[in-house]
Structure 1
Amino acid sequence: MAKRGENIYKRKDGRWEGRYIKERKVDGKIRYGYIYSRKYVDVKKKLMLVKAQTLKSDDLQIAYDGTLGDWLKLWLETIVKPRVKLSTYNGYKSKVQLHILPHIGTILLKELLPTDIDQWLLQLNKQLSSSSVHAVHRVLKNALSQALKQELISKNPTLMIELPKLEKQRVKAFSKQQQKMIKAATIKEEKYLPILIALETGMRIGEISALRWTDIDFSEKTIHIQRTLQRLQVGLGKTALIEGTPKTFQSERVLPLSNQLKEYLTEVKKTSHSPYVVGIKDSCTEPRTITYRFKKLQEELKITPLPFHSLRHTFATRCLELGVNIATISSILGHTSTKMTLDVYTSSFMQDERKAMEKIAAI
């Protein structure tokens, strides 16, 4: 049996038939196009792609009678996927499948109301943090903004919706004593090199995994960050290591190399047989292996475990404590703006703020 708005039917010969409006003539007559396959999913996918190309014509806007779920799938495959990185697409798809489709995916797109969004958000608030709720809402808002542009809906019901107040999360960094313990351990074993690089440069784990020896200029003492490595979903139940460009335009940057790190890397390079700084033979060491080794190291040192990203926060925190200006820190970290750096590390300024207050009081 066909689902409402799909126009997909099973024929007597066992094949599935998908029908779409191919042309609407001036006299009002409609000419249909047809898609056939032995598999229902194949017809549905092809039909979605064809509908995306024929949603609008010069003479007439074709009405869209699909559900919100139908539109979201269409939006992901035909608009999002061709324009963004695979990691971004996977993130959008995950949010749609986990948090949108199960709750409001069956509502007809043209009948979706702000009250539906409100009720959905109330449910999300019970399951997710405020920042995650904002992120999921943003995906739905973007999808419906595109539907509005294509005149499939008259207004975007996600607008003017009251979202939960964002709570600033305190950055977790290692103490100076813990940092010394970690650094001492990393120097002893080469397999901990990624940890040392993160502590000394503030680089992201994907940037460290993708770092090649050709990215390091030992004479100029610089590191050129121009790629990142991630394990991403590439199919149903399948993942692959994907090497791509850094997170943002600002993330592609050149970092100064300290004398101490330069000397250590020079020694490592002498025995390296890989094009990657952190690698074995012709291959790199992927992020999940680095994460596992870092977890084991913390257990051995009996340090309260923190994620690998906390090494980046530790680097930034030490910079702040040493009085490095915010613009320099922002540039080193590859943030899109100094505002982002300030927002992330607000709590780290408390010591400086306290000193300022004492100075004012002493006048």
Structure 2
Amino acid sequence: MARKNPNGAGSIWQRKDGRYEGRVYVPQPDGTRKRKTVYGDTWEECDAKRQELVRRDRAGIPTPTRSQKLSEWLPYWLEEFVRPHRKKTTYAKYETHVRLYLIPNLGTRRLESVNAADVRKLLTAVSRKASAATAKESHRVLRTALTAAHREELVSRNVATLVPAPRVEVREMKTWTLDQTVSFLEAARPDPLYTAFVLAVTLGLRRGEVLGLRWTDIDLGRRTLTVRNQLQRVQKELYADSTKNRRTRAIPLPAMCIAPLRWRRIQQAEQRTAAGADWQESGYVFTTRTGRPVEPRNLSRSFERISAGAELPRIRLHDARHGCATILFAAGVAPRVVMEILGHSQIAVTMNVYTHVSEDTRRAALGHMDRLLKRRRPTA
């Protein structure tokens, strides 16, 4: 008796060689539909494969008619998985690694044919061309992309997880001493961005968080500052984004921040009057002479120029954030409080990355050790 399949569920027929062949239209990763062919020695075997294709179709799971090349999958993954759900900075970073390292080294390989040896060759090539840190980041991007492919059932396993990422030597963090920090703030006092540097040094704000502050985020009466956004530049776009961990945090303002913020408000009012019709109101605390947001790179340039003029050791603006954590810990502030001030999502980051014990602190600690363990003279 002839066996028929439901409408839209494909078809099965017997070939001249006695085997059975079935075809079903299935969705592709790019949104199109193509015909997929399955085979079986018996009608039942072929029908089981056909039913699996129909099940995937009804579940909305793409079934490529051929295994995609990485040069096809990676751009699709960036546009469909990364761009809609991740920050623009993350997308830009991933896109750079895909364009410069992953596609040039693995683009011709098909998803199912990529093996551990291919991944190791990639890491070696990127380490030689760039650095071990860059290779480690490329490994993370590839692993994330293959994880998405595995969830879409395009690959049976994620081979990137089988190969360990390169070991990267931790860069020694450089921070200023307390006296050097005071010297910098004194040298920065005449600069229009002086208040920004005060907030960066005393509160450990990230560069984007400083420039993303609006006057509505600051309550001088209650002496509080709320970090809600950050200002970022990705390629040709300057835009406001959520904080790094997408969390808002309120920070009490130290007394030394109040006067600079009031001075900044007066300064901005004078700039608004001078600019007249050219003023572009943005609500930001730190703006140019015409009200435009300050470019993040320009804040770093000013920091470097002032540091060099004061003959201070060269550090990055972000290193001032490290120095803030060190000062807070030296003052005896609890780690959990430091974590909240700096806006970390995990206390391990605060403890392992952003704390640097100064020489004076080490000397004091060993002084206590010497006092406790010093051998006492026996009494007569």
Q: TM-score band, normalised by the shorter chain?
A: 0.7 to 0.9
Deviates more, 1:352-361 or 1:111-120: 352-361
Q: 1:52 to 1:152 in 2, by over 3 A?
A: farther
% of aligned pairs identical?
26
Partner amino acid, structure 2, of 1:242: Y
Task: Assess if the C-alpha contact under 8 Å between 2:26 and 2:63 holds in 1.
Answer: no
Residue in 2 that maps onto 1:223 = 225
1:257 aligns with 2:250: no
Provide the C-alpha distance between the structure 2 equivalents of 1:347 and 1:52, rounded to a whole number of angstroms.
57
Q: 1:155 to 1:279 in 2, by over 3 A?
A: same
Alignment of 1:126-165 (within 5 A): 126-165=128-167
1:170 Cα shift? 2.1
Residue in 2 that maps onto 1:268 = 264
Task: Assess if the C-alpha contact under 8 Å between 2:335 and 2:351 holds in 1.
Answer: yes
1:312 aligns with 2:321: yes
* Per-residue deviation, residues 290-338 of structure 1 (Å, max 9, x unmatched): 1121122122222232221111112112222222221111111001111
* Per-residue deviation, residues 217-245 of structure 1 (Å, max 9, x unmatched): 11110000000001113xxxxx1111011
Partner amino acid, structure 2, of 1:49: D
1:92 to 80, 91, 94: 94
Aligned length: 322
1:346 Cα shift? 5.3
Provide the C-alpha distance between the structure 1 equivalents of 2:31 and 2:93, rounded to a whole number of angstroms.
25
Residue in 1 that maps onto 2:272 = none
Task: Assess if the C-alpha contact under 8 Å between 2:123 and 2:136 holds in 1.
Answer: no
Provide the C-alpha distance between the structure 2 equivalents of 1:90 and 1:52, rounded to a whole number of angstroms.
30
Q: 1:222 to 1:167 in 2, by over 3 A?
A: same
Provide the C-alpha distance between the structure 1 equivalents of 2:167 and 2:369, rounded to a whole number of angstroms.
29
Q: 1:64 to 1:143 in 2, by over 3 A?
A: farther
1:341 Cα shift? 0.8
Q: 1:153 to 1:211 in 2, by over 3 A?
A: same
Alignment of 1:169-248 (within 5 A): 169-233=171-235, 239-248=236-245
Provide the C-alpha distance between the structure 2 equivalents of 1:51 and 1:31, rounded to a whole number of angstroms.
10
* Per-residue deviation, residues 18-48 of structure 1 (Å, max 9, x unmatched): xxxxx87233346699xxxxxxxxxxxxx97
Provide the C-alpha distance between the structure 1 equivalents of 2:150 and 2:99, rounded to a whole number of angstroms.
22
Q: 1:73 to 1:192 in 2, by over 3 A?
A: same
1:181 Cα shift? 1.5
* Per-residue deviation, residues 49-78 of structure 1 (Å, max 9, x unmatched): 325999951399443432112111111111
Partner amino acid, structure 2, of 1:264: P
1:289 aligns with 2:304: no
TM (norm. structure 1) is 0.80
1:49 to 30, 34, 41: 30
Deviates more, 1:346-355 or 1:63-72: 346-355
Name structure 1 gaps, 5 residues minimum. Answer: 1-22, 34-46, 234-238
Q: 1:70 to 1:24 in 2, by over 3 A?
A: farther
1:278 aligns with 2:286: yes
Deviates more, 1:54-63 or 1:113-122: 54-63
Partner amino acid, structure 1, of 2:239: I
Deviates more, 1:74-83 or 1:157-166: 157-166
Provide the C-alpha distance between the structure 2 equivalents of 1:343 and 1:57, rounded to a whole number of angstroms.
48
Alignment of 1:94-113 (within 5 A): 94-113=96-115
Bigger Rg over Cα: 2
Partner amino acid, structure 2, of 1:241: L
Alignment of 1:333-348 (within 5 A): 333-345=342-354, 347-348=356-357
1:25 aligns with 2:35: no
Provide the C-alpha distance between the structure 1 equivalents of 2:327 and 2:167, rounded to a whole number of angstroms.
30
SS at match of 2:11: coil
1:137 Cα shift? 0.9
Deviates more, 1:185-194 or 1:133-142: 185-194
1:166 Cα shift? 4.0
Provide the C-alpha distance between the structure 2 equivalents of 1:181 and 1:254, rounded to a whole number of angstroms.
28
Over the aligned positions, Cα root-mean-square deviation in angstroms equals 2.8
TM (norm. structure 2) is 0.77
Provide the C-alpha distance between the structure 2 equivalents of 1:53 and 1:148, rounded to a whole number of angstroms.
21
1:342 Cα shift? 1.1
